[in-house]
Amino acid sequence: MKQVRAYIGIGSNMDDPERQARTGTADLRTLPHTTLVRCSSLYRSAPVGPVAQPDFVNAVCSVDTGLSSERLLAGLLEIERKHGRDRGSGRKGGPRTLDLDLLLYGDERRDDAVLALPHPRLHERAFVLYPLSEIAPGLVVPGRGAVEELLRACADQRVSRVQGPTVPPS
């Protein structure tokens, strides 16, 4: 089975966000045909969007997976549901127990009703770029450029490192 390197963004700002990020990350190990490769430190960031809410705790993990991008996304959504996330309720951009975003899936580029790859706002969000640069220095985001270059354009966004790796390596 062909393996693809994928990057997953993790975020939480409800119900003990650090615990949610850690347990959500650990749950990535339950995905079939998928190996958790590396996880960043936890980072704290101000929320982005129209809704007043607490700061987020974020991280990024890399996985090697034999799942298609659609099946990987379905697995991520199931983990979110396990953590009490209901994407059908509330306003977009509001508080959430766990948010798992498929940021990159190899060099796949697509934008359809199911999935947008690379994640459409990845290149403009420091809370994704800092942890991504930690675990994959030199990574190039298809159609956007090197992570370090993208990060320089987000230098005005407040992001602070909270702790070491989200989950210990297996």
H/E stretch holding 9 reads strand 4-12
Three-class DSSP category at 168: coil
- Give the pTM: 0.92
Question: Can you name the CATH fold of 4-165?
Answer: Alpha-Beta Plaits (3.30.70)
Q: In the beta sheet, which residues pair with residue 35?
A: 64
Band (15; pLDDT cuts 50, 70, 90): confident
Mean pLDDT of 2-27: 94
The H or E element containing residue 70 is helix 69-82
Active-site annotation, residues: 85, 96, 99, 101
CB atoms under 10 Å from CB of 3, counted, come to: 14
Separation CA 44–CA 63 (nearest Å) = 22
pLDDT, residue 7, reads: 98
Distance in angstroms (rounded) separating the CA atoms of residues 137 and 150: 12
What tens digit of pLDDT does each residue of 24-49 get?
A: 999 999 999 999 999 999 999 988 77
Report which of residues 165 and 25 the model is more confident about: 25
